[in-house]
Structure 1
Amino acid sequence: MAKRGSRRTAAANQQRSQQSKRARVRSGWRLWLRRLVIWGGALALIGALFLGAAVVFAERSLPSYNSLAATQPGQTVVVRARDGSELIELGPSYGQWLNSDQIPQVMKDAMVSVEDRRFYSHFGVDPIGLVRAIYVWMTGDKRIQATSTITQQLARNLFLNSNRSFDRKVREAVLAMALEMKFSKQQILALYLNKVYFGGGAYGIDSASRKFFSHPATHLSVGEAAIIAGLVKAPSRFSPTADVDAAVKRANVVLALMREQGRISASEAAVNPATVKLKKDSNENSVRYFTDWVLPQLEVMVPDTTEPLEVWTTLDPGMQNAAAQAIKANAPKGAQGALVSLDRDGAILAMVGGTDYVTSNYNRATEAMRQPGSAWKLFVYIAALEAGYTPDDRVKDVPVTIDGWSPHNAGGSYAGEMSVRDAFAYSKNTVAAQLGNEVGFGTVASVARRFGITTPISTYPAMVLGSSEVRVIQLTQAFAEISDGGFAIQPYGIVKVTDTKGDVLFQHQPGRFGQLIPDYVAAGMTDMLQTTVATGTARAAQIGRPVAGKTGTTSLNKDGWFLGFSSGITTGVWMGRDDAKPVPGLHGGSAPAKAFADYMNYAVKDRPVEQFKTELKLPEWQQEPDDEHYYDGNPGDYYYTDEQGNLIQPNKPETPGQMAFPPGSEPGAQSAPSRNSPNPPSGDNGQAASDDFLDRAIGKGPGASPAPPPRTTLQQTGPRAVTVQPGG
């Protein structure tokens, strides 16, 4: 019995111990829960106090409604054409400020429906929307969805940046609640609708309405309001000028939300946004190629300012339209085109960087580097004329090999003896190769540098056929310098820049930059360029008045060029594919020459017909057979280049007492044949002129001194693959 009682007592004690333990556990859990509630409540209260204090402080620091309404950050730039007409307005555009009672109710309803359906009931931050976003995130979405109310968006637009940091979101919420404390809902909505960004530089509904629909926002229809409200989420993606279908689809979403929330009737929700008449966007056309090129230059032209600017440019609206149409109409299918047109002083009259700016804003006129083909022969023949050749000199179009390289003519035929003029006009590759070899490939490269080519230039033999890449604007500049009689020009697009008061901040100063080649070389080059259009490879470029120019075609018809001038206007045209694939049937004398003619027919229509100056007035040193005449007369009458084709200023020898000599007369100097040379032999040795003449021209013979080292050199970086098309 005693044992049994002992067992009962032990069991009871164990049970009481377990119950006590469970009681202690429950007591501890409740204790910590109470502590958590108490401390959490205290922290929440402290946080609320701090938040309230922050909101009150922010509210007191906020500017007045009128001050916020007058704030317009950003700089507006109006670009004008040469006739003063507006080409484009860039930067923020704010339109007219609309008070709350001036804003159509349908516009307010559309914006509230799509951006903040509980706008009229929350205090700046939407707790319901925040909880819903967190729930969606916790149940599978990897990121919290956007929960910004209209007031928060306004706070961000007015005072903050777009960083997605936690700190920025907290400040955004504080400022939103401060705005709600200071202003009414109608004032907040009015501020928002007048300042929110709708794309294309348009800030506010009035600017957007004028940009997209050509009328003030006070006349917005239901469909138009839906389109504008739909832009806030992604202005570039839903812009009606960029993607009409995307804009209409987004507008239908807005209409559905408005109907669901009871803000419009079923009949109004049935409005088809696709029937809305959109304003044609003049900003997204070929003019943008020019403005994209010219506007970055403002950084070095005008002082740092945020005030609106007016930029007066050289662009001619009519010529620009004609240029764009000429490129679009003549560019082969699948190919791109570019055009640059310069006035005689370098002013850019038209610039087209592609067939469609909206599809591709890459400016092929100023950025693309392509092989020029036979258009490069301009520099070869300039070097030859400087060295003593004239257009009437006789050369041989025969097979030739230079350092293992054997150029061929188009069609593989050879004409035998012919004039330099005809060799250029019919783009004979073998003659260009011989001339380049005689004057020196480094000399040809130096001539190209002198005429404004800044891209890398090879000095291997194939360079004479255009293996080195160039930009359209620079090659056009070189032809314009020939048109101007051999004087240097600099392409420019800005005439002046003014501020809102009309004060001139920048003014282009006209002037010449010096003579690149003597008159007789410019005249001879113009003679050959004119013959190329009259009877040579560029007959498609004829426009019923004197035209001088040159075609260019690269291997497999990858590039087609025509560059020429008439009546003081020089125009360069390039066509080809961006991926440099062949374009069937493309060559310089076809589509590019036709595009040139189409454009130039319009460009020169109001200009008088000008005859070219092609009469050669050769210097005495080129007319006399002996060397003694070099020491007679005024040395300033002569034109000098060194062995690499670089200019040497007359009357300024390198060292005191050193005499300056014309080309071919200094000891050891190298020169090419003159117009008095005997008939050249066959081209088996890669020469277009006789050995006897060359020996005399370069100073070989009794008393001749070794040639001095050149003062400038061009580095050869090793063999490179070059592909050139025979012929022009």
Structure 2
Amino acid sequence: MMQWIKRLVLFSIFTGLMGIGAIVAIYYHVKSDLPDVATITEIQLQVPMKVYSIDGELLSQFGEKRRIPLTKEDIPEMLTNAFIAIEDSRFYQHFGIDPIGIIRAATVWASTGSATQGASTITQQVARNFFLTRDKTFIRKIKEVFIAVQLEQILTKDEIMMLYLNKIALGQRAYGIGAAAQVYYGKNVSELTLAEMALLAGLPKAPSNLNPIASPKNAEMRRNVVLYRMLSENYITQDQYETAKASPITATYHGAEITLSAHYVAEIARNKLIELYGSERSYNEGFNVYTTINKIDQQAANKATLNNLHDYDKRHGYRGASKVLWQAPAENWSTKAIVSSLNQTPDSGDLQPAVVVEVNKQAIKVITKNSQGALQEIDWDGLKWARPFITNSRQGTEPKKASDIVAVGQQIWVREIAQKLELSQYPAVSAAFVSLNPQDGAITSMVGGFSFEQSKFNRATQAQRQVGSNIKPFIYSAALDSGYTLATLVNDAPINEWAGSTAWRPKNSPEVYAGPIRLRQALGQSKNVVSVRLVQDLGLTKVTNQLEKYGFERENLPQNNTIALGSASISPLNLATGYAIIANGGFKIEPYIIERIEDAYGSVIYQANPKIVCSYCAELYAQQGDNQQFIATQTELDKSANICPISPVSADQIASAVISAENAFLTRELLKTAIWGGGSWQHNSGWNGTGWRAGRALERHDMGGKTGTTNGSKDAWFSGFAGNTVATSWVGFDDFNLDLGRTSYNNNLDKDQATGGEYGARTAQPAWIEFMQETALSNPRVTVDTPSTISTVRIDRKSGLLTYETDHTTLFEYFRADSVPTEYMNRTAVFKTEGNQDIPYNAPTSVDELF
């Protein structure tokens, strides 16, 4: 007996040594193929790029994998326990592999013939996920074991657990529990219920088959298994188990938590990151891009642009259904079939698809995509606008009943206004809107078109369109630098200019001429022929030189007199930047849209360094010559801090002046006149500026702006400033051959409707006004100091000369100190008393004679 025991012991030792030898042999066999496990501390998880507004609203997310990296402190202990219970109950006891688990799995396999019991530890899964493939081969399994043991030697258990929870694939392109909580429940992990935690913990085994969205029954069964394991491991009580087990499956798909719609801005940010860091890094290293966009301005720009496009489209008529699903006498589709068809049509802008299922006398019933089968009504107020579209300049007869507009079986577009549905359509016309801060060039909102999904072309930055009368303030600015004043008279009369046998006859719009007219009034009323006469007098060289100062490229400026009427092609952003120079006192700012970029750990790796407008600082630097550091007394520093956004400042942070403070001030006055007009309404001499609608709507005097309409009404513009915001609105067709047309009166609508031709004030300005109305509370009134070199004197409204009168025929006007008029309106014989005798007295004819 002892001899058999001795043999058994020797056999066991021999077998053990053989096993150890085999393990050593296998290790050296695969050693050359094993990765350097220490590199796991350097491996970066694939985290998508996220783009935010300056105030932290998510604009977009780019990257194949959705992942939200979390730390141990971010994760509820119960959630960690759920994964341990179902995946590796002895995680905190084993050394990377679990011999007990292996024996248990082997026993189950030997007794059942089926490998239903897994033996991989969480550490082994980390080894596989980071270093190996998922191929089910013996060699891969051996490598996994060796790597797992090494991982346990260089990492703590908590570090391994964090790698696992942040790396694991959980379906729906969600990697890691942070992303999974968002994708399935729209929550942070800290907000998950026990039932939801258990469901997520059950996903790693088979993310596709156990997906709660695609297979809710399978997901529920797996969740209950997880809950049972948690009960068995004493992580939860019996009551918790029963309550969670009875919970329904509530998971639904949640896209990225986009909290602010600014797709065109996000695309600019994406392209900038790829330019800086390349595609691979940009999409996978978890960069967070913070743009200069803010929520208030962007939401206002979105709303104003969409409303303006719909208003244009409605007054030009209804173009009909987007699709016909069935026609009478065919049987109506089932609700299920309708919902299925609608779900295949994506929303666009603020529109959602709907199908007409019932047409009454002056109302229809529809099933919308969002209603998922429920009937909704559109009453007559939401239908009556829809007279037929014929051309951009012709509309059909107003409808009298709903059947004049739609029919059962048609798929249409609808939009919600004040909680009521309205028939709508995808606008045929395009638009762009951009706003910025004139003090540093930060872009605060940008809309590049009706729908980014339909067209990625960003009309705010990429469209080069003729600007029409939006060019005039810059031409007038050139005149002010060439001896003209706001009171200079220019002849507002028809022009006939011959070039060989060809005549050029620029006209006012409307064709009304005033004869000699002051420069201020000419800009306010947008007199075309005055602008032409200025260009003729100044010469193209002087005009284009001035336009270049405002940032307009010479190659986009026509070298002929049509430049006076806005034949130059400029993008909305470029144009807004030019107006910003007028608004900020003459300083050249560079528009920018990325404020900073942070890496996945919150470290700033890129910071914008914009030029800042600070006239006080600029004067100090000018006095200090070539000094590049701020050398000033504490008093000066304190004063600078109150004036400038940053303090102390350096020379390279100060925006340079490209036009004089006097020129900027006077040009700004011209733009204010375009809003407020002039004259005396009480004495029948009052007149409106072309932008008068803004004055009536906003009632603030720190604003100015200019309308713009191109020849043939192909482009409509409004650009201007209010407070510390500059904005440009543009409307036009992407097809250069199409004009904006005109509309006739619609008898179904109220009397305040817009009719006639489309032009800047009617077509583009409404978006600008609505935007400014929405942002007024965050855009305080701004007081502009009058430059010390500007004087104010009373002049005659008609002649622009000095006057002694003080009635409605006069006004106070601004002049450069060296260009104050010296002549009076006329010499009037008056009398002055000397002693007891009246003697004739001739009024002085110049300022010099007064002193």
TM bin, normalised by shorter chain, reads: 0.5 to 0.7
CA distance in 2, matches of 1:427, 1:449: 22
Counterpart for residue 396 of structure 2: none
Counterpart for residue 669 of structure 2: 527
Deviation, 1:377, is 1.8
CA distance in 1, matches of 2:526, 2:138: 73
Counterpart for residue 296 of structure 2: 318
- Asked if structure 2 preserves the Cα contact closer than 8 Å seen for 1:374 and 1:427, the reply is yes
Pairs within 5 Å for 1:524-563: 524-534=666-676, 535-542=688-695, 543-546=698-701, 547-563=703-719
- Asked if structure 2 preserves the Cα contact closer than 8 Å seen for 1:155 and 1:175, the reply is no
- Relative distance call for 1:553 and 1:507 in structure 2 (3 A) is closer
Pairs within 5 Å for 1:571-650: 571-580=727-736, 581-585=738-742, 586-606=758-778, 607-610=780-783, 613=786, 617=790
Q: Could you say what secondary structure the match of 2:569 adopts?
A: coil
Counterpart for residue 420 of structure 1: 519
Q: Could you say what secondary structure the match of 1:561 adopts?
A: strand
- TM-score, length basis structure 1: 0.56
Counterpart code for 1:608: R
Counterpart code for 2:68: S
Q: Could you say what secondary structure the match of 1:368 adopts?
A: coil
The answer on 1:448 being equivalent to 2:426 is no
CA offsets 1:244-302 (integer angstroms, 9 cap, x no match): xxxxxx977556988999999xxxxxx999x7555575537433433443565568999
Counterpart for residue 35 of structure 2: 61
- Asked if structure 1 preserves the Cα contact closer than 8 Å seen for 2:436 and 2:445, the reply is no
- Asked if structure 1 preserves the Cα contact closer than 8 Å seen for 2:709 and 2:760, the reply is yes
Q: Which of residues 481, 486, 492 is equivalent to 1:396?
A: 492
CA distance in 1, matches of 2:522, 2:171: 56
- Relative distance call for 1:402 and 1:373 in structure 2 (3 A) is farther
- Asked if structure 2 preserves the Cα contact closer than 8 Å seen for 1:58 and 1:175, the reply is no
Counterpart code for 2:771: Y
Deviation, 1:591, is 3.9
- Relative distance call for 1:568 and 1:520 in structure 2 (3 A) is same
Say which structure, 1 or 2, has more relative contact order (CA 8 Å, 6+ apart).
1
Counterpart code for 1:444: V
Q: Could you say what secondary structure the match of 2:521 adopts?
A: helix
Deviation, 1:223, is 13
- Asked if structure 1 preserves the Cα contact closer than 8 Å seen for 2:82 and 2:198, the reply is no
Q: Could you say what secondary structure the match of 2:760 adopts?
A: coil
Counterpart for residue 529 of structure 2: 430
- Asked if structure 1 preserves the Cα contact closer than 8 Å seen for 2:494 and 2:513, the reply is yes
Counterpart for residue 558 of structure 2: 458
Deviation, 1:181, is 8.0
Counterpart for residue 150 of structure 1: none
- Asked if structure 2 preserves the Cα contact closer than 8 Å seen for 1:196 and 1:232, the reply is no
Deviation, 1:210, is 1.8
- Relative distance call for 1:59 and 1:559 in structure 2 (3 A) is same
> Which structure is higher in strand share?
2
Counterpart for residue 840 of structure 2: none
Deviation, 1:544, is 0.7
Deviation, 1:308, is 6.3
CA offsets 1:69-102 (integer angstroms, 9 cap, x no match): 9843356766665556776676653346888863
- Asked if structure 1 preserves the Cα contact closer than 8 Å seen for 2:469 and 2:708, the reply is yes
Counterpart for residue 461 of structure 2: 366
Pairs within 5 Å for 1:225-236: none
Deviation, 1:222, is 12
- Relative distance call for 1:90 and 1:508 in structure 2 (3 A) is farther
Counterpart for residue 722 of structure 2: 566
Counterpart for residue 352 of structure 1: 446
- Relative distance call for 1:70 and 1:513 in structure 2 (3 A) is closer
Deviation, 1:418, is 2.4
- Relative distance call for 1:71 and 1:518 in structure 2 (3 A) is closer
The answer on 1:341 being equivalent to 2:435 is yes
CA distance in 1, matches of 2:201, 2:733: 41
Deviation, 1:446, is 2.5
Q: Which of residues 577, 587, 593 is equivalent to 1:487?
A: 587
> Which structure is higher in helix share?
1
CA offsets 1:452-503 (integer angstroms, 9 cap, x no match): 1236222133232222221211111110101112222222345555664767
Q: Could you say what secondary structure the match of 1:340 adopts?
A: strand
- Relative distance call for 1:520 and 1:413 in structure 2 (3 A) is same
- Relative distance call for 1:292 and 1:589 in structure 2 (3 A) is same
The answer on 1:283 being equivalent to 2:258 is yes
Counterpart for residue 204 of structure 1: 176
Q: Could you say what secondary structure the match of 1:331 adopts?
A: helix
- Asked if structure 1 preserves the Cα contact closer than 8 Å seen for 2:434 and 2:727, the reply is yes
CA distance in 1, matches of 2:596, 2:262: 18
The answer on 1:385 being equivalent to 2:480 is yes
CA distance in 2, matches of 1:297, 1:419: 47
Q: Which of residues 409, 427, 431 is equivalent to 2:508?
A: 409
Counterpart for residue 667 of structure 1: none
Q: Could you say what secondary structure the match of 2:505 adopts?
A: coil
- Relative distance call for 1:515 and 1:55 in structure 2 (3 A) is same
- Relative distance call for 1:600 and 1:391 in structure 2 (3 A) is same
- Relative distance call for 1:285 and 1:362 in structure 2 (3 A) is farther
CA offsets 1:110-160 (integer angstroms, 9 cap, x no match): xxxxxxxxxx9xxxxxxxxxxxxxxxxxxxxxxxxxxxxxxxx99997469
Counterpart for residue 124 of structure 1: none
CA distance in 2, matches of 1:197, 1:550: 56
- Asked if structure 2 preserves the Cα contact closer than 8 Å seen for 1:100 and 1:190, the reply is no
CA distance in 1, matches of 2:214, 2:255: 24
Deviation, 1:677, is 11
Q: Which of residues 189, 194, 200 is equivalent to 1:216?
A: 189
- Asked if structure 1 preserves the Cα contact closer than 8 Å seen for 2:86 and 2:202, the reply is no
Deviation, 1:545, is 0.6
CA distance in 1, matches of 2:570, 2:454: 24
Q: Could you say what secondary structure the match of 2:268 adopts?
A: helix
Deviation, 1:315, is 3.2
Counterpart for residue 474 of structure 1: 574
- Asked if structure 1 preserves the Cα contact closer than 8 Å seen for 2:704 and 2:720, the reply is yes
- Relative distance call for 1:182 and 1:81 in structure 2 (3 A) is closer
Counterpart for residue 45 of structure 1: none
- Asked if structure 1 preserves the Cα contact closer than 8 Å seen for 2:37 and 2:147, the reply is no
Q: What value does the CA root-mean-square deviation take over the aligned residues?
A: 5.7
Counterpart for residue 705 of structure 1: none
- Relative distance call for 1:425 and 1:308 in structure 2 (3 A) is same
Aligned identity (percent) is 24
- Asked if structure 2 preserves the Cα contact closer than 8 Å seen for 1:288 and 1:357, the reply is yes
- Asked if structure 1 preserves the Cα contact closer than 8 Å seen for 2:60 and 2:256, the reply is no
Deviation, 1:193, is 7.8
CA distance in 2, matches of 1:575, 1:519: 32
Counterpart code for 1:438: D
- Asked if structure 2 preserves the Cα contact closer than 8 Å seen for 1:369 and 1:470, the reply is yes
Counterpart code for 1:396: D
- Asked if structure 1 preserves the Cα contact closer than 8 Å seen for 2:58 and 2:257, the reply is no
CA distance in 1, matches of 2:170, 2:740: 41
CA distance in 2, matches of 1:477, 1:375: 12
CA offsets 1:495-538 (integer angstroms, 9 cap, x no match): 55566476786463634332222233223322221111122211
Q: Could you say what secondary structure the match of 1:365 adopts?
A: coil
CA distance in 2, matches of 1:172, 1:419: 90
Counterpart code for 2:568: S
Pairs within 5 Å for 1:169-184: 178-179=143-144
Structure 2 runs not aligned, ≥5 long? 1-25, 89-101, 103-124, 150-156, 226-246, 314-426, 613-652, 677-687, 743-757, 793-815, 826-851
Counterpart for residue 609 of structure 2: 508
